[in-house]
A = this chain, B = another copy of it.
Amino acid sequence: MAYNVFARNCPSRTTLEHVTGRWGALTLSALHHSSFRFNELRRRVDGVSEKMLSQTLHALERDGLVHRDAQPTNPPRVDYRLTPLGQEVAERLLSLIRFVEGHQDDVAASQQRYDSLGGR
A interface residue numbers (CB < 8 A to B): 2-6, 8, 15-17, 19-22, 25-26, 29-30, 44-47, 58, 61-65, 85, 88-89, 92-93, 95-97, 99-101, 103-104, 106-107, 109-111, 114-115, 119-120
Contacts and interface: CB of A to CB of B under 8 A. Distances in A.
Contacts of A106: 64, 85
A111 to B, nearest CB: 5
A4 B47 contact: yes
Contacts of A4: 26, 45-47
Contacts of A89: 96, 99-100
Given A85-B103, A107-B64, A114-B61, A22 B6 contact: yes
A113 B109 CA distance: 48
A85 to B, nearest CB: 6
A95 B95 contact: yes
A63 B4 CA distance: 22
A63 B26 contact: no
